[in-house]
Chain A
Amino acid sequence: MEKTCSGGWFKGVKNRLAREAERPLNLTRARYNQPYEIQSIETLDSAMTDFLFTLGCYEGQEVTVLSSLGENYVIHVKDARYSIDRALAQAIRI
């Protein structure tokens, strides 16, 4: 899956929080109502990446998380609101 997983990440019992801190920042960890710049989109489905692009959701663009509703995140991109699931929120690196 992610490249970071291979480098001895799971050797030894590491504190979960420490791992969180080193993991690249994605939308699941964004603060609400604060605009972030998208660093990259790391989906497993290139068609989804292309689709996000057509919504204006790609690297360099601004994204804001408005709220999270359990499994779903309400995001704001280019004057429109979308609800995305956790997997997609994790794919959007900020």
Chain B
Amino acid sequence: MRIALAGNPNSGKTTLFNSITGKIEHVGNWPGVTVARKEGEIKSVYNPSGETVQVVDLPGAYSMSPYTSEESITRDFVIEENPDVIVNIVDATSLSRSLFFTTQLLEIGIPVVVALNKSDLKSKKKLSIDSGLLSEVLGCPVVEVAAIEADGLKELVTVSRESLGRKLKAPFAGYDPGTATEEEVRQSDKERFSFVENLVSRVEGRKVESRRQTRQDALDRVVAHKVLGIPVFALILYSVFSISQNSVGPLVADYLVGWIDAFYGFVQGLMGSGVHPLFSALLLDGIIGGVGAIVGFLPLIMVLFFLLALLEDSGYMARVAVVMDPYFKKVGLSGRSIIPMVISTGCAIPGIMATRTIRDERQRRTTALLTPFMPCGAKLPVIALFAGVFFADAAWVGTAMYFLAIAVVVVGALIIRKITGDTSKSNYFIMELPEYRLPSLKRAFVAMVSQGKAFVMKAVTIILVSNALVHVMQTFTWRFQVVGEGMAQESILASLAGPVSWLMIPLGFGMWQLAAAAITGFIAKENVVGTLAVVFGITNFIDTEELVLVAGESQVAGVMGLTAVAALAYLIFNLFTPPCFAAIGAMNAELKSKRWLLGAIGFQLGMGYTLAYLVYQAGTLITTGSFGSGVLGGLAGIGLFAGTIVYLVRLRENEDLEVLGGVA
């Protein structure tokens, strides 16, 4: 049998889903976390019968008439896929809004069970609900649960199973969807609301009126303030990144790298001298070295995921959207665009998917195009590596990358608005403000472990294979002979990456090794670090004796042969060119237009190239008094990029003029 979970946004559907299935889907204390349906099986603890019960978690919806695309998933699923039972999750603290949707669900004809969630908050709010009476009037079972505490779940599952095939009589008969006119629908929905209001007044006892101002509102006056909110947000972001990259992260990384080193030595000893040197080099330097270089950064990423999970759990994210809205509107985005971007600091793929909550198509696409500019978890090792090798672990490098990303997003949004024109007729903003709550360490821990696991899985699959290939391609020539001493340019890798490296001369890093690392970065951004480790033969970057992130800075920097300015340019190039293929795939799915996808990739390439060029040439001019190599060649490339943008803007302006001419 199959049970669907439906209810208002932020009523706790995914929390309930995770509790009863044991899955670890992304949850957060703000509306619109879930944008696609998720399926799982009920754990045997809650389902003693042993019969398999499928549960489908759906995005939140306020009613059966969808406003944004993810809301329509819920309606389509419930109507078209005929689940056996609908569990309607109702936020016990806002009955008068939630029951509107409940009465609509009760009309479909599928048995409904109401799960009165957040029951644990009732006493805190001095709220009482007569669930017996509620059940009687609605004509369906009502079960009090607290998904967060895993309370009442067994009963909910039992009641849901018993509801299979039960006939129900809708307490409120609405319009006939086949024949009703718009006016009739409106009239009927008004009656539906008064029915709900009447019902709520009978079942609910409130001692404190919810419209009274609370301490939360006082907090909001600072945190969500138009002006004050910005430094607060900046400070919170800064703390998140500096804790993960400069203090706690490296501290834990230290132990891990010790183990990796020990493992390297262990394998080395195990193989002894009997193994062919080519094979042992592949295993040690290609696979263990390359993968180890990345896994060494795992603690940094896990700390970042932990802190992001705390942030999402607190209810602060909705406030960030409110703070950013007026500013983002000025560049043709909406406040909702910030949420995909914050999610993207973890991983761009869920970030790109989160753009579905943006209703305006142009804003949605622009956000999906710009979101991958945010440095994701996979880019973190790249940042940490370069900050360590070339900037003595300076804290500002990491933070600067995040703020540079925000600046790129703003400028990018302006350029795209120039190209596409502002097509949004109205640009209203509304965001439900969830209550703040103390973030749960346990939930953040669970999220962190699951993301960390995914990171390791990626490292031992895609990245392992990439590193092995890079190592083989570096070891052999096209005629499958081992590359001779001092003949590194003869290798397959060098001959493939060589032509690309020509394009990078104006950026300060025209070396085939660096070009190869940037290219493998499109498979997964961690590969940049892995490939560098392989091609330069560095086994690991993190020092185990001293508490510094990167060992032998001067030695590593010397091997790479880069100036600090060129290294910064290379870092920026890797961060701001198109994301990995998986994220490009997600962009393709969300943009739903080949033209937009091509434009997006072209724009990201142009942006990364231009930024790297500017940093390298301006930086070199400042530090040495003259421009770096290839200054004119690079200018030509950037001219091409800028020229294309100007051409597209002109094209659109002419179209506008024609439209105006046609009207006149």
Is there a chain A Cβ closer than 8 Å to B499's Cβ?
Answer: no
Contact A54 B95 (CB under 8 A): no
Residue numbers in B under 8 Å from A72 (CB-CB): 224, 226, 322, 325-326, 429
Contact A74 B428 (CB under 8 A): no
Give, as a whole number of angstroms, the nearest-CB distance from B278 to chain A. Answer: 63
Is there a chain A Cβ closer than 8 Å to B220's Cβ?
Answer: yes
Contact A45 B425 (CB under 8 A): yes
Report which of A33, A79, A85 forms a contact with B93, defined as CB distance below 8 A. A79
Q: Which of B96, B426, B432 has the most CB of A within 10 A?
A: B426
Is there a chain A Cβ closer than 8 Å to B227's Cβ?
Answer: yes
Q: How many residues of B contact A (CB 8 A)?
A: 42
Cα distance A66–B190 in the bound complex, in angstroms = 25
Is there a chain A Cβ closer than 8 Å to B94's Cβ?
Answer: yes
In A40-89, the 8 Å CB interface with B consists of 43-45, 47-48, 50-56, 58, 60-61, 64, 66-67, 69-72, 74, 76-85, 87-88
Cα distance A60–B426 in the bound complex, in angstroms = 24
Contact B322 A79 (CB under 8 A): no
Is there a chain A Cβ closer than 8 Å to B431's Cβ?
Answer: yes
Is there a chain A Cβ closer than 8 Å to B225's Cβ?
Answer: yes
Question: Which partner residue on chain B sits nearest A85 by CB separation?
Answer: B429
Stretch at the interface among B61-69, B264-272, B411-419, B609-617: B61-69
In A2-52, the 8 Å CB interface with B consists of 33, 35, 43-45, 47-48, 50-52
Residue numbers in A under 8 Å from B322 (CB-CB): 69, 72, 83
Cα distance A54–B432 in the bound complex, in angstroms = 13
Contact B428 A54 (CB under 8 A): no
Q: Mark B178-222, 1 if CB is under 8 A from A, else 0.
A: 000000001001100100000000000000001111000100110
Is there a chain A Cβ closer than 8 Å to B427's Cβ?
Answer: yes
Question: With A76-B211, A82-B430, A83-B431 as given contacts, are A51 and B62 in contact (CB-CB < 8 Å)?
Answer: yes
Question: With A54-B62, A79-B94 as given contacts, are A84 and B425 in contact (CB-CB < 8 Å)?
Answer: no
A-B pair number, CB within 8 angstroms: 117
Report which of B193, B220, B326 forms a contact with A67, defined as CB distance below 8 A. B220
Give, as a whole number of angstroms, the nearest-CB distance from A28 to chain B. Answer: 14
Residue numbers in A under 8 Å from B427 (CB-CB): 87
Contact A85 B325 (CB under 8 A): yes
Contact B221 A76 (CB under 8 A): no
In B55-113, the 8 Å CB interface with A consists of 62-63, 65, 67, 93-97, 100-101
Question: Which partner residue on chain A sits nearest B321 by CB separation?
Answer: A83
Give, as a whole number of angstroms, the nearest-CB distance from B537 to chain A. Answer: 55
Q: Which of A33, A51, A80, A82 has the most CB of B within 10 A?
A: A80
Question: With A45-B428, A88-B428 as given contacts, are A56 and B100 in contact (CB-CB < 8 Å)?
Answer: yes
Residue numbers in A under 8 Å from B227 (CB-CB): 70
Residue numbers in A under 8 Å from B217 (CB-CB): 66-67, 74
Cα distance A28–B136 in the bound complex, in angstroms = 42
Residue numbers in B under 8 Å from A47 (CB-CB): 67, 359
Contact A64 B65 (CB under 8 A): no
Residue numbers in A under 8 Å from B560 (CB-CB): none
Residue numbers in B under 8 Å from A56 (CB-CB): 96-97, 100, 193
Cα distance A8–B197 in the bound complex, in angstroms = 43
Residue numbers in B under 8 Å from A80 (CB-CB): 94, 97, 432
Q: Which of B94, B221, B326, B428 has the most CB of A within 10 A?
A: B428
Q: Mark B320-335, 1 if CB is under 8 A from A, else 0.
A: 0010011001000000
Cα distance A53–B229 in the bound complex, in angstroms = 30
Is there a chain A Cβ closer than 8 Å to B433's Cβ?
Answer: yes
Residue numbers in A under 8 Å from B65 (CB-CB): 50, 54
Report which of B100, B221, B428 forms a contact with A84, defined as CB distance below 8 A. B428
Cα distance A51–B95 in the bound complex, in angstroms = 18
Residue numbers in B under 8 Å from A43 (CB-CB): 426, 428
Cα distance A43–B225 in the bound complex, in angstroms = 25
Residue numbers in B under 8 Å from A54 (CB-CB): 62-63, 65, 67, 100-101
Report which of B63, B94, B326, B431 forms a contact with A70, defined as CB distance below 8 A. B326
Question: Which partner residue on chain B sits nearest A52 by CB separation?
Answer: B430
Question: Which partner residue on chain A sits nearest B127 by CB separation?
Answer: A79
Cα distance A32–B433 in the bound complex, in angstroms = 17
Give, as a whole number of angstroms, the nearest-CB distance from B214 to chain A. Answer: 9
Give, as a whole number of angstroms, the nearest-CB distance from B640 to chain A. Answer: 39
Question: With A83-B430, A85-B429 as given contacts, are A71 and B63 in contact (CB-CB < 8 Å)?
Answer: no
Cα distance A80–B431 in the bound complex, in angstroms = 11
Contact B213 A66 (CB under 8 A): yes
Question: Which partner residue on chain B sits nearest A33 by CB separation?
Answer: B213
Contact A71 B326 (CB under 8 A): yes
Give, as a whole number of angstroms, the nearest-CB distance from B62 to chain A. Answer: 4
Contact B426 A44 (CB under 8 A): yes
Residue numbers in B under 8 Å from A67 (CB-CB): 213, 217, 220-221
Contact A81 B432 (CB under 8 A): yes
Report which of B101, B224, B428 forms a contact with A91, defined as CB distance below 8 A. B428
Residue numbers in B under 8 Å from A50 (CB-CB): 65, 67
Residue numbers in A under 8 Å from B93 (CB-CB): 79
Residue numbers in A under 8 Å from B97 (CB-CB): 55-56, 77-80
Residue numbers in A under 8 Å from B318 (CB-CB): 83
Residue numbers in B under 8 Å from A33 (CB-CB): 211-213
Residue numbers in A under 8 Å from B329 (CB-CB): 85
Cα distance A33–B193 in the bound complex, in angstroms = 23
Residue contacts A-B, CB under 8 angstroms, 7 given = A43-B428, A54-B62, A72-B224, A72-B429, A78-B97, A79-B96, A85-B428
* 9 nearest CB pairs, A to B: A70-B226, A54-B63, A79-B94, A45-B426, A85-B429, A78-B97, A76-B211, A71-B326, A51-B67
Other than the known A35-B211, A72-B325, A83-B322, what 7 A-B pairs have Cβ atoms closer than 8 Å? A47-B67, A53-B186, A74-B433, A80-B94, A85-B428, A87-B428, A88-B428
